[in-house]
Structure formats: C-alpha cells, structure tokens
Amino acid sequence: MKGGEFIDVYSGSEVRVIMLKGLLEEIGIEGIVQNEFQSGITAGFGGGTISTVKLKVHEDDLEKAKPVVEDFIENQH
C-alpha cells in the first residue's frame, strides 16, 4: 500500500484531463480526477469554473508520471 499524498499534475478541460489519465493508466499509474465545479454543485454551492478539472497522481508515481505529463502538455494544440 502506498503512503503519502496525491499531487496535482495537470489542470485543464475535462476532456484533456481524461485523455491524460488514460495515458498514465497505460503505464500503470492510477490518477484521480478532481472536478471542483461538479463538487461544488453536488455540495450545494458553486465552486470553480466548468473548466477547473485537475488530475492528481500519488506522490510515489510522480517521477514516473512527469515525462508523460510534460509530453502531453508540449503536444497540446
């Protein structure tokens, strides 16, 4: 079992976050999608914006995830 925290590695549109999450899963890294807008609505208050979606990975996977995330960001068009 892993110890430690989850670290934000990317923030953007939900579509892009899901794409990156899929790329990380291909190399065995589990990501967590945090949608602040949806969380705010569910809790009964507005929070964030529609495009405020974050992808988090476990800090133990951060070094392995970095090259994938950097490549993804560099190749966005």
Write b or e for each residue in 20-49: b if 16 or more Cβ atoms lie within 10 A of its Cβ, otherwise e: bbeebeeeebebeebbbbbeeeeeeeeebe
Model pTM score: 0.78
CA 10 – CA 13 distance, rounded (Å): 10
Q: What is the mean pLDDT of the chain?
A: 84
Q: What does the pLDDT read at residue 4?
A: 76
Q: What does the pLDDT read at residue 37?
A: 58
> Which domains, and CATH codes, for the chain?
6-74 (3.30.70)
Q: CB 58: neighbour CB atoms within 10 A? A: 17
pLDDT > 60? residue 68:
yes
Higher pLDDT, 18 or 2: 18
- pLDDT 10s digits, 6-55: 999 999 988 999 999 999 999 999 999 998 655 544 555 554 455 579 99
